[in-house]
Structure 1
């Protein structure tokens, strides 16, 4: 429920001002895919690459957010929706700050991802589908979660007993069971360059 006596306080410095100061546009690169598909790995790789290009970034990761801002949330459908909603709002703040945000979240439900896209201006939400066969993800199983799900220790696990809704029209698809980390990173970087995110000349 909205607070009756809370009002938006506008400042004098705009998002465009901050983008010009930073020397590039701002957006959120949203990595979505199954657990073990390589979302976090790619976000770390892309962050490092952009940093070397003097691009201001910040990385939001599912586990990190649940240890801090979202530590009060569980893994029910409602809590998952709230988890992604909060991340969307945080991403919007970083975009307003003129920063390229890298968000790595399973985010299995299409409507939750679409809600974040609708929260932002056109072109500010770049959906990256980190596509990887569930068998390969389970083979990797870096956190041992698939095995726990198979053993009944975890319920509602995406890809096992809870669905993952694939993106219908993502801006980028990287197939991590066929491509190296470097190839995936280069594909995303190429998109950012070609679409003008790494410059403010067109603003």
Structure 2
């Protein structure tokens, strides 16, 4: 951390922003293999929440790598830094009173745990999109698994790099041929039951 910096307290705080928006700010953190359906379900979820009048922001892995994380590769070190940056951005958006939806492979448990720890208790909702590797490979919407199997992509999660499944996610979606819209509805029900949505 840099020297000679001081945290400035603001008169308008997270609670005031949340009350103005009439919602509980949190991070809904999607994790799962490439091709698992994270981005698809996250996008549908945001549309449904927007229709309910919720104020949201969706951070998607590929989109963020076009700007904020455009200088990072896919080594383990770069993956850790990618998730660190997303965690800090998510924290700022939660402070603004938003419901933040993130869709990142985020393969390492320690990184997801660190993301959770940047937030206050009850603000981090881990959503495991549990899709078997063989199903993800069959879908392979970007052709990445095929390239990884040929050796054209190194350190690809699930092939050359490890994916550590969540041990106790707040929400667990088995997505093996299920309808994405129904999965989003199922997730909304889980979020309501746990008090994240009214």
Kindly state the Cα deviation for residue 178 of structure 1 after the two structures are TM-superposed.
4.2
- Give the C-alpha shift of residue 18 in structure 1: 0.5
In 1, Cα distance between equivalents of 2:178 and 2:31 = 16
Q: Which residue of the partner structure matches residue 56 of structure 2?
A: 57
CA root-mean-square deviation: 0.9
Distance 1:12 1:198 in 2: 26
1:186 equivalent to 2:197? Answer: no
2:88 corresponds to which residue?
A: 89
Deviations 1:131-151 (A, max 9, x none): 001000000000000000011
**TM-score of the superposed pair, with normalisation by structure 1:** 0.95
Hey, what does 1:21 align to over in structure 2?
20
Is 2:123 aligned against 1:124?
yes
* Map of 2:168 onto structure 1: 169
* Greater than 3 Å deviation, 4+ residue runs: none
Cα distance in 2 for residues equivalent to 1:196 and 1:165: 27
Q: Is the 8 A contact 1:19 1:99 kept in 2?
A: yes
Q: Which runs of 5+ in 1 are unaligned?
A: none
Give CA deviations for 1:24-52 in whole Å, capped at 9, x if unaligned: 11000000000000000011000000000
Answer yes or no: is 1:159 the counterpart of 2:158.
Answer: yes
- Work out the number of aligned pairs and report it: 198
TM-score (norm 2): 0.98
Q: Which residue in the other structure is 2:41 paired with?
A: 42
Aligned mates of 1:156, 1:196 — CA distance in 2: 38
The Cα of 1:179 is off from its aligned counterpart by 2.3
The residue aligned with 1:137 is 136
Contact 1:24 1:198 in 2 (8 A): yes
Per-residue CA shift, 1:92-124, capped at 9, x if unaligned? 000000000000000000000000111111111
Gaps of 5+ in 2: none
Q: How far apart, in 1, do the equivalents of 2:167 and 2:140 lie? A: 26
- Give the C-alpha shift of residue 191 in structure 1: 2.0
